Amino acid sequence: MDDATHMTPDEFRRCGHALIERIARYMEEVERYPVLSQVEPGSIRERLPPAAPEHGEPFAHVLRDIDEIIVPGLTHWQSPNFFAYFPANASGPAILGDLLSSGLGVQGMLWATSPACTELETHVLDWLVGLLGLPDRFRSTAAGGGVIQDTASSSTLTALLAARERASAGAVNEHGVGSGPGRGPRLTVYTSRHAHSAIEKGVKIVGLGRDNLRLVDADAGHAMRIDALESAIAADRASGATPAMVCATVGTTSSGAVDPLRAIGEICRRENVWLHVDAAHAGSATICPEHRGLIDGVEHADSYTFNPHKWLLTNFDCNCFWVADRAALIDALSVLPEFLRNRATESGEVIDYRDWHVPLGRRFRALKLWFVVRHYGADGLRSHVRRSVELAEWFAAQVRASEEFELAAPVSVGLVCFRHREGDAFNQTLMDRLNQSGALYLTHTRLDERLVLRLAVGAPATRREHVEAAWRRIAETARGLATGHGAVS
Ligand SMILES: *Cc1c(COP(=O)(O)O)cnc(C)c1O
């Protein structure tokens, strides 16, 4: 049998240079592609061979297929004309940090399996506590600490596990979910009607049951109503349930609404309920002192999460999760099989991040975040956030000044919810025409029973001229539709 033909370091050098060159060219060209991929379902697979190759192929052939097959099937998240969902920032330093993480090939499940992987992560997350204006109790040098996870969904799930363990006094981990002899109380969870679907998914995964998730009513600005939260908690207590967790959102996905953290936090303190804060998108904004008001009251939080992989120039995946009391998290998740025993763990002097999230194995993700923070510096990161916020404000001003369009929610950091006054069907057609044109990409939501268009600004390449062009095209396309002549293209 022949040996596997590993890539030699010299071949790697050659292929690597070619690939870096291809990525740099992509950065230069991304603006020219239709933002939303225009391919039909199945058309990418049609161009791939039915079976895997029996013999290895030259890397140049793979690169060729990137251009011919893969790129046409991409939706270009890094395009300056990408305004859909929330941004998913990529940046040079983050790409290089990810590459280095792959190049070192480290698996950081325990401190002992690569001390630098753990200590850099702990340290950079302590840095971010300061940069983002988070409470000092989240620092690893106090009773808390931060960890990098893959997504906000995973962090929210982890918070639910810790909250479940605390509220059941350990009964669920020992005996399982549900009431009965030796089992814990029925546990309930609260979040706003406009919270992310990740909460519901988490409640299903941890086995609390959707019946025990309360979707609390929101006010006219789509933020959680305090009176509704209080009465939901009181009703559950009266029926014998134990409230386990409130998940407050700072910047909902639909409209960027901000739940009143301070008032929610005071209720959680009084009721002894775990407060988790989901600031997946808007959390990046608090690097600017002028946006710290978003997290007023966060000192009451037991856990907090945000995604540098959305708006803070760090490639997917990179989510940050902090807890105020790391013991509560570790108690909920720790197991120690014989094959993982080691002297460092037993000394109690180190962090073993396997106890801070669901998987065992973990990548060296701190590298890319460290590269980003060092490349941009806090002032560079602030400029990025400020420019997005300013451009969104500019767009909102055009909507306000127009006769045909109106704002559908208060403008949030980097996000504008708006609609044409003609109603749902018109707005749907308008959005479809715009997205089919390839010139920009927008998505929608529903607020107050009505279809609403969302313009989220935050791609690193987006400049004033792109937002101006987007507004011009939106207004012209709407005019074309209104007069029945079809979209201007
Ligand atoms: C995007 C988003 C999430 C989900 O983020 P993932 O990292 O993809 O899991 C959760 N909550 C809010 C408010 C979001 O905007």
d(CA 351, CA 341): 13
pLDDT in tens, 455-466: 999 999 999 999
Give me the mean pLDDT over the 99-106 stretch. 97
What pLDDT is attached to residue 487? 45
Give me the mean pLDDT over the 3-8 stretch. 86
| Alpha carbon of 192 to ligand 1 centroid (Å) | 15
488 pLDDT band, cuts 50/70/90, is very low
Ligand 1 atom nearest 309 alpha carbon: 7
d(CA 399, CA 402): 5
What pLDDT is attached to residue 347? 82
Residue nearest to atom 12 of ligand 1 (CA): 280
- In sequence order, which ranges of 216-325 are alpha helices (DSSP H)? 226-238, 261-271, 308-311
Domains contained in the chain, CATH given: 1-32+38-73 (1.20.1340.10), 106-364 (3.40.640.10), 378-482 (3.90.1150.10)
| Alpha carbon of 187 to ligand 1 centroid (Å) | 24
Name residue, tokens 């630098």. 116
Q: What is the DSSP string of 368-412?
A: HHHHHHHHHHHHHHHHHHHHHHHHHHHHHHHHHH-SSEEESS--B
Rounded alpha-carbon distances, angstroms, from residue 199 to 61, 140, 156, 158: 44, 26, 7, 11
What pLDDT is attached to residue 179? 58
What pLDDT is attached to residue 111? 94
If one residue of 157, 247, 277, 307 were mutated to test the ligand 1 pocket, choosing by the most ligand atoms within 8 A of its CB, it would be: 307
pLDDT in tens, 426-451: 999 999 999 999 999 999 999 999 99
What pLDDT is attached to residue 5? 87
pLDDT in tens, 136-158: 999 999 999 999 999 999 999 99
| Alpha carbon of 153 to ligand 1 centroid (Å) | 6
What pLDDT is attached to residue 348? 80
Residues having CB within 6 Å of any atom of ligand 1? 86, 151-153, 196, 198, 249, 252-253, 278, 280-281, 307, 319
Top-confidence residue, 323 or 335: 323
- Sheet strands (E) in 217-374: 242-249, 274-278, 303-306, 319-323
| Alpha carbon of 357 to ligand 1 centroid (Å) | 17
Average pLDDT, rounded, for the chain: 95
- In sequence order, which ranges of 421-484 are alpha helices (DSSP H)? 424-437, 464-482
Lowest-confidence region among 189-198, 359-368, 442-451, 477-486:
477-486
d(CA 222, CA 368): 35
340 pLDDT band, cuts 50/70/90, is confident
| Alpha carbon of 4 to ligand 1 centroid (Å) | 41
If one residue of 157, 200, 281, 320 were mutated to test the ligand 1 pocket, choosing by the most ligand atoms within 8 A of its CB, it would be: 281
237 pLDDT band, cuts 50/70/90, is very high
Ligand 1 atom nearest 150 alpha carbon: 7
If one residue of 155, 156, 191, 253 were mutated to test the ligand 1 pocket, choosing by the most ligand atoms within 8 A of its CB, it would be: 253
Ligand 1 atom nearest 196 alpha carbon: 11
What pLDDT is attached to residue 341? 81
What pLDDT is attached to residue 4? 76
Give me the mean pLDDT over the 76-94 stretch. 98
Residue nearest to atom 15 of ligand 1 (CA): 253
Q: Give the Cα-Cα-Cα angle 278, 281, 287 (nearest 5 degrees).
A: 100
Ligand 1 atom nearest 281 alpha carbon: 15
pLDDT in tens, 6-57: 999 999 999 999 999 999 999 999 999 999 999 999 999 999 999 999 999 9
What pLDDT is attached to residue 180? 62
Ligand 1 atom nearest 317 alpha carbon: 7
Q: What percent of the chain has pLDDT over 90?
A: 90
Give me the mean pLDDT over the 343-347 stretch. 81
Residue nearest to atom 5 of ligand 1 (CA): 152
Q: What percent of the chain has pLDDT over 70?
A: 97
Q: What is the DSSP string of 75-94?
A: --TTSTTB-SSS-----HHH
| Alpha carbon of 265 to ligand 1 centroid (Å) | 21
If one residue of 196, 443, 445 were mutated to test the ligand 1 pocket, choosing by the most ligand atoms within 8 A of its CB, it would be: 196
pLDDT in tens, 283-318: 999 999 999 999 999 999 999 999 999 999 999 999
| Alpha carbon of 318 to ligand 1 centroid (Å) | 12
Ligand 1 atom nearest 319 alpha carbon: 7
Q: What's the whole-model pTM score?
A: 0.95
pLDDT in tens, 106-126: 999 999 999 999 999 999 999
181 pLDDT band, cuts 50/70/90, is low
What pLDDT is attached to residue 178? 67
Residue nearest to atom 1 of ligand 1 (CA): 280
